Amino acid sequence: MLGLTTYLMILLALLIGTWRRPAAGFGAVICLYGLKQWGQSTTAFFSEYRQFTNFAVFGICVLGVYRAARQRACILCKVPPTAVLVLVLYVYAFATISWAPDPQTSLDQWIATGPYIITITLLAPLLMTDLDDTRTAFIATALAGAAICILALAFGTWGDRGLVLFGHAGVQDDSNIYRYETNPLALSTMAGTVLLICALSLGRPNRILMRLFSLACIPIALVVILRSGSRGQAIASGAGFLIALPIAFRPKDGKSFVSLVVVVAIVLGLAWWGASLVDLHNERWTNARASQDVEGRFAMAQGLLEASTSSSLTTIFGLGNSSAFTVVGYYPHIAGLEVLAEEGILGAVIYVSILFSAFRSVKRRLQLELTDVQRNGLAILTSLFVFELILSWKQGSLLFSVYVFAYAIALARLETPRVEKLPEPSNTMRTAEPLQFENLLP
């Protein structure tokens, strides 16, 4: 009963928040996988009907887009080039199915991931139209995500790495943890997002309550990452934090530099304390196991690249999306190399252009005058983009990199300040006052 009650409370809070402030719906999109897994592990209904959360978050997202359109007029009037590039890449990737080795297998992948592409990549960025909206979005994410992390640690039934699906506590199979457990990478990715938001919220413009909340949530989020055995999430969250740190705390003088150092020391201290609460002596954290996993993924990527370069046509246009399942038996987990092999040089150029545009958007926005709220929002958004980009090169593919492209589009949309709609002139006819000219004649 606790699982169902808390699940519905979080979902209802996100729904109400989105109705009042559309940007809160972005938090629902980020917490989609975490909320989904909490429901699957505690309630029979959600364990059986696993797509319910997908439809619920899609509905919240559509509601948010509708409310944003009502409040801010035309939300599609400003379509950045990055969004066009993402759309072109997906359209081209879908077209490559026609010459893939097994078109049906490729199509099945699109059917499985299509709803996530629509909800996360295409709709979610429309919920924010200015950097000021990021504060609403990330506070909603931190509150919902931290609640899920606390519930998972305090009341969740853990298996080898993930939460055990409802009703399967006694029938776990070590040879296939995903059969009876939720995906540990999805839950830890949400936890990494919460960690980054909280770590970058320790300074201005956040007040004492938000800072205390962040201090409490940093070790909680890290424990979830470490408990799930997610090495990539631990590394990617650290990299995202370090890259975004100068944006959030802009070391322009001695005082700001001291603040930056203090924040780093606090985060490292909390991380060390959180790590001490988890047993890190299992094989997943050994150098030998990590090296084996990396070598295996590069071996699959190499096999896929060798197949794609066997002819000039496949080198340029690619083997076809999701060909890895036929060529090497599984997707290689390295998104960039997979794009180069399956979409060819043509697709890789578009992919790199998207990444370049995202970083350029950050640079251009920093050249403008920013308030503390806007600077903090830009820092968090940048850190999340870097976080997801690193993960996509460790566990992703083109179809699974939905958050990478969502953050890239969001950065492009927020690159320029919002231009408020000018009030329409009154219909009342007014008599113009005669112009007064100074008499210049002697």
Query: Is 401 inside any structural domain?
Result: yes
Mean pLDDT of 48-65: 93
pLDDT over threshold 60, residue 44: yes
Predicted pLDDT of residue 248 = 85
Q: What is the DSSP letter of 158?
A: B
At how many degrees (to 10) do helices 344-366 and 81-95 cross? Answer: 160
CB atoms within 10 A of CB 253: 9
Query: Is 435 inside any structural domain?
Result: no
| CA distance readout (Å), 364 to 14, 32, 140, 148, 414 | 32, 31, 27, 35, 10
DSSP-derived 3-state class of residue 204: coil
Q: What is the pTM of this model?
A: 0.89
Cα torsion for 165, 168, 171, 173, to the nearest 10°? -10
At how many degrees (to 10) do helices 231-249 and 208-227 cross? Answer: 160
pLDDT over threshold 70, residue 427: no
pLDDT over threshold 50, residue 298: yes
| CA distance readout (Å), 18 to 368, 394, 409 | 29, 32, 20
Query: Is 345 inside any structural domain?
Result: yes
Token pair for 292? 């084996």
Within a 13 Å sphere around the CA of 53, how many CA atoms are in the beta-carbon half? 26
Query: Is 337 inside any structural domain?
Result: yes
Query: Is 389 inside any structural domain?
Result: yes
Query: Is 176 inside any structural domain?
Result: no
Q: In terms of residues, how long is the chain?
A: 442
Unique residue bearing structure tokens 């780093």: 264
Minimal CA–CA distance to 339: which of 323, 327, 325, 326? 323
Mean pLDDT of 69-91: 86
Cα torsion for 259, 144, 377, 224, to the nearest 10°? 50
pLDDT over threshold 70, residue 419: no
For 385, the domain range is 80-127+286-415
Query: Is 34 inside any structural domain?
Result: no
Predicted pLDDT of residue 276 = 79
pLDDT over threshold 90, residue 287: no
Predicted pLDDT of residue 361 = 93
pLDDT tens figures, 389-412: 999 998 889 999 999 999 999 999
Contacts 24+ apart (CB under 8 A), 156-160: 156/38, 156/41, 156/42, 157/41, 158/227
pLDDT over threshold 80, residue 424: no
Mean pLDDT of 130-154: 93
Mean pLDDT of 295-322: 91
Predicted pLDDT of residue 59 = 96
Dist CA 385 CA 405 (whole Å): 8
Predicted pLDDT of residue 420 = 44
Dist CA 352 CA 358 (whole Å): 10
Which residues, in sequence order, are CB contacts of 291 under 8 Å at separation 6+? none
Dist CA 368 CA 266 (whole Å): 30
Apex 191 CA angle, 406 and 61, nearest 5: 40
Mean pLDDT of 299-323: 92
pLDDT over threshold 50, residue 439: no
Mean pLDDT of 200-215: 88
In Å, how far from its chain's centre is CA 321? Answer: 22
pLDDT tens figures, 231-276: 889 999 999 999 998 898 876 655 667 777 888 898 888 888 888 7
Q: How many domains does the chain have?
A: 1
Task: Give the mean pLDDT of the chain.
Answer: 86
Predicted pLDDT of residue 295 = 81
Of 93-97, 195-199, 415-419, the one with minimum mean pLDDT is 415-419
* pLDDT confidence band for 23 (50 / 70 / 90): very high
Apex 198 CA angle, 193 and 201, nearest 5: 130
Query: Is 407 inside any structural domain?
Result: yes
Dist CA 26 CA 126 (whole Å): 9
